[in-house]
Amino acid sequence: MIETEKYGTYHVSNTGEYISWYNFAKEIFKQANMKVKVVPVGSDQYEAKANVQQTLEWIFQQ
């Protein structure tokens, strides 16, 4: 990623395991030594503005 002109946000895992946004947020606060209550929210509880399928297709075309 460092040796490319493609800048932006990358989500990387060295184990290949899935992590939810909930667990990701919990780990961020844990590593920052912050005691924060993180509440999981299902995708049915908010209106997603992005079309996930179209976004994934765009990502894999890059």
For the full predicted model, state whether its pTM sits above 0.75: no
Q: How many domains does the chain have?
A: 1
Q: Which domain holds residue 49?
A: 1-62
Distance CA 13, CA 16 (A): 6
Residue-wise pLDDT for 5-44, tens only, equals: 777 777 666 676 777 888 888 998 999 999 989 998 877 7
Distances (CA, A) of 40 to 21, 58, 59: 8, 28, 26
Angle at 52 between CA 47 and CA 55, to 5 degrees: 130
